Amino acid sequence: MGWGRMDEREEQNELSGRVISVIYANEENGYAVIRLDTQDGGVTTVVGTLPSVCAGEELHAFGEWMTHPNHGRQFKAEYAERSLPRTAEAIYAYLAGRAVKGIGPATATLIVDRFGEKTLDVLESQPEKLAEIRGISLDKARRISADFRRQAGLRRLMEFLCGHGLRPLLAVRLYKFYGENAMEVLGGDPYILAAPHIGGSFAEADRLAIDLGCGVDDPNRVRAAVIFELRHNAGNGHCFIPADKLVPATSQFIGAEPELVSAAIAELAERGVITRSLLAGRDACYLAELYEAETFVAERLRAMASEPEPESERIRRLVERVEAESGIVYAPLQRTALSLAARCRVMALTGGPGTGKTTSLRGILSMYDAMGIETLLTAPTGRAAKRMSELTGRGASTLHRLLGAAFSGEGEETVFARDEDDPLDCGAVVLDECSMVDITLMRALLAALPEDCRLILVGDADQLPSVGPGRVFSDILRSGAIPAVRLDEIFRQAEGSRIVRCAHEINRGEHADFRENSGDLFLLGRRDEARAADTIVELCAQRLPKRMGMAPEEIQVLTPTRKGELGSVSLNRRLQAALNPPAKGKNEKIFGEVAFREGDRVMQIRNNYDIIWYRNALPGQKAESGFGIYNGDIGYILGIDEENETLTVDFDGRIAALGFEQLMQLEHAWAMTVHKSQGSEYRAVVLALAQAAPRLLTRGVLYTAVTRARELLIAVGDGETAHRMIDNHVQSRRYSGLRLRLCSDT
């Protein structure tokens, strides 16, 4: 068996031996650094694309010798063939290195002592014999055997993909969904690699398809390119692409004639894969599921907004009662918000910091209590839900948890337990941070509302739009079809905050003076990004904890970008070294180029509805458990268990055990992008004014970053960057038909 590409092996140096250790392995691209016990008795370092390589394997590599400036003489493998170990000694090294799940050094000793050179045959075809060993049940023996067979199939698939220059990680995902049939599925349709549940790019799928004989103008190729263009643009926030944009873009992308692309679009529409709709005179091409979501949302919201109750003396008395009981004199717009909430089945409430959104929301909740309406509170992320709960004094949950989100049986497509057939049991739902909700999630929420349920949509219209497709909150407000209140008065208690004043100045396009170092907002000017990064680390590790008594967990570093000296990746590496360095007795797990260490602050970056969590009993509360850790959830690593290949994380009181294979769903979170911070609020924010692409240096990004700080905001970097962000108010256009559909009479 082999991997890599090698057409002129005779011109390469050769090296054979047994793998004695894997120093480094990147599971994403297959690159590895290994130590090889060669046939001449020497030990050599070998580097190259060596996917899923394990200690104990026999390796025959072709490549060239090179000298590394730090690590000396190495063998760079361009192509390699491998075989499973044959001797008892090598088999032990292979199993003790945890090549097979469920077998560690102790278990490997017992198995190899019993079966010797026949061990691997037993693992593959006679698992019941493993149960003869004390401590191995029949059930465990079968699990071990299944994993060994899985590894064999997975490696064959990896070798096939790597032979075509493709990432080994794609093999992991293919095997997860198709098992032993993965190779057959791939041969039948190479473009399955570009499907969302596999995660490959069109370029990767196209490379394989062409290698397997697919022609440039093959209809399968053209149809796959059209679907990929629509999916790619959905990932950039678009619900549809006009046909007059989609055809030339796809044609240029794959070098096919426009007529072939048009024919592919027509065929995909006939199959129901995409939907064409005439919007403002343009032929809009949707993925079918996005068209259904958009039209459903429009129809349901219009129906809910169609019959508002007229203003009445009863409602005015109700508002006055809430006002009297709370001891608050509401501003006119706040009274309007309470009145609309009493009269309408759906309304929107928006406003910037310090404008009284929370006060208005508390008033609405008190009014619903007085009306005998049971209200559920929800938000798109766990952090936003927690903040909502803290501000209102009531329980709040994430949208996904409220709706019973789960993965479908076929793969990682999200399905919801609560829908038209099993609606929520409530009289009203309040959705906070509505700007973060995309069209598919809004469709799921509306489908789960009982027929007479009320809906209050709350958010800041000036914050960044959702990551997913659509601009739901903005379209609702701009349509004028849904009753809405925009709070614009800054209340006295907020007027003294430089953070609040700065946020509104930014929103108006004014050059907020970050150099006015006073109150709760400061600028530490640093033109050199490396020096700025040093300053950020010093602030988090020393200055703020020592001078202001702020614990590191109360400080959040934000940055517009992932890349560069001031990007989240580099800053997290620096902050980890300063805040949680290696120490004796502190376990860590190397995953690719990242070291996850006990004590690390981490963030879940994908919804995972299958993770089981538990919460220990607190005074006056019962212990509880549940399923699901969601994108954006922040936690701390409590422990790392090499034997069981698990990492235990405390996600704000929810304790979850993640398998090592799920580490790709985690990243460090001392620093995060501004986009990832939406819906959260922190005691102190340290903002890196980083250089980045213009699309990341916008007024909306700066406004969102500033409004994340509750008590203190320190901007570090070049102050001119902030001014450029304020001037860059060109919002990326999103193709969305929701506003037009809300306004339409048809």
How much is the pLDDT for 732?
A: 66
How much is the pLDDT for 326?
A: 87
Tell me which of 179 and 291 has the higher pLDDT.
291
pLDDT bin (cut points 50, 70, 90) of residue 745 is low
**Structural tokens at position 459:** 């958010």
Longest dimension (CA), the chain: 97
**Structural tokens at position 625:** 């458990």
494: pLDDT strictly greater than 70: no
How much is the pLDDT for 473?
A: 96
pLDDT bin (cut points 50, 70, 90) of residue 4 is very low
8: pLDDT strictly greater than 50: no
CA distances from 97 to 55, 92, 103, 129 (A): 6, 8, 9, 22
Tell me which of 82 and 710 has the higher pLDDT.
710
CA distances from 275 to 283, 420, 745 (A): 10, 23, 21
How much is the pLDDT for 39?
A: 75
Among 383, 379, 407, which residue's Cα sits nearest to residue 651?
Answer: 383
pLDDT bin (cut points 50, 70, 90) of residue 519 is confident
pLDDT digit string (tens) for 111-120? 999 899 888 8
66 CB neighbour count, 10 Å cutoff: 11
pLDDT bin (cut points 50, 70, 90) of residue 366 is very high
From 87-101, 116-130, 178-192, 452-466, the region with the lowest mean pLDDT: 87-101
Average pLDDT, integer, range 271-290: 95
Give the whole-number percent of the chain exceeding pLDDT 90. 50
Average pLDDT, integer, range 49-64: 82
How much is the pLDDT for 10?
A: 44
- Give the highest mean pLDDT range of 67-71, 91-95, 508-512, 591-595: 508-512
565: pLDDT strictly greater than 90: yes
361: pLDDT strictly greater than 50: yes
Could you tell me which residues come within 8 angstroms of residue 725 by beta carbon, excluding any fewer than 6 positions away? 560, 697, 698, 699, 701, 702
- Residue 708 burial (CB < 10 Å; 0-12/13-18/19+)? buried
Give the whole-number percent of the chain exceeding pLDDT 70. 95
Average pLDDT, integer, range 515-523: 77
214: pLDDT strictly greater than 90: no
DSSP 542: I
Average pLDDT along the chain:
88
Q: How much is the CA Rg of the chain, to the nearest whole Å?
A: 29
pLDDT bin (cut points 50, 70, 90) of residue 399 is very high
- Cα separation, 124 vs 147, in Å, equals 9
- Cα separation, 679 vs 556, in Å, equals 14
Average pLDDT, integer, range 356-368: 93
432: pLDDT strictly greater than 80: yes
- Cα separation, 709 vs 682, in Å, equals 5
